[in-house]
Amino acid sequence: MLTVQTFTFNPVQENTYLVYNEEGACCIIDPGCYFASEEKVLSDFITTSGLKPVLLLNTHCHLDHIFGNRFVQRTWGLELHLHRLEEPVLELGPASGQLWQLPFENYDGPRHFLDEGDAVRIGSDELHVLFTPGHSPGSITFYQPVQRFAIAGDVLFNGSVGRTDLPGGSFQLLEESIRTKLYTLPEDVIVYPGHGGSTTIGDERRDNPFVKMP
């Protein structure tokens, strides 16, 4: 069984997720730790919980979700898994950081590409990959069908959706992703978003003002 631990990091208040099981295996999703104190919070939790990081995953590669990629790589020797269409977004990270006055060193290690239908393994557990573009060209969601939760990055929020005015964004694609990939999941699926509190598929299907069910 998987446990989801949330950390809120960096000036953009991004949600970093640590997903782990009873075996002690864990994956780090969208490490947004920017300050050394935030890196310490993440590493201390992993150490004191007796966890072994086995995967580094990005739902997408906007700067607030990738600040900590390099730290995770250097600390635990993990290589990055992402969608191929996020490569240009990843490479623009440092330039975006300069614009936001948040300079950082980008991840520079090997890249492994994920797509719809893939599964990533955390010990004896796994997360399924859903391709959910729109907020960014290669946004993906990590879905656990047995425990019924989804880590959705900036695709779907509690009462809102991801912005689509950044390069590569498309509201039409975002709406399609939400309708066909997320709203089709069971109503009790918990959605863990990239910012803010969690929600459920049922609540968003009923009440989300930006993408309504027909």
User: CA 107 to CA 174: how far, in whole Å?
Assistant: 27
Query: Domain residues of the chain, as ranges?
Result: 2-207
pLDDT for 43-101, tens place per residue? 999 999 999 999 999 999 999 999 999 999 999 999 999 999 999 999 999 999 999 99
Q: What is the mean pLDDT of the chain?
A: 97
User: CA 27 to CA 125: how far, in whole Å?
Assistant: 11
Nearest alpha carbon to residue 105 among 76, 135, 137, 68? 68
pLDDT for 161-210, tens place per residue? 999 999 899 999 999 999 999 999 999 999 999 999 999 999 999 999 99
Nearest alpha carbon to residue 127 among 50, 14, 17? 17
Strand 190-193 with 149-153, pairing: parallel
Q: Is the pLDDT of residue 35 over 80?
A: yes
Q: pLDDT value at position 163?
A: 97
Nearest alpha carbon to residue 32 among 167, 154, 160, 164? 154
pLDDT for 39-53, tens place per residue? 999 999 999 999 999
Task: Give CATH for domain 2-207.
Answer: 3.60.15.10
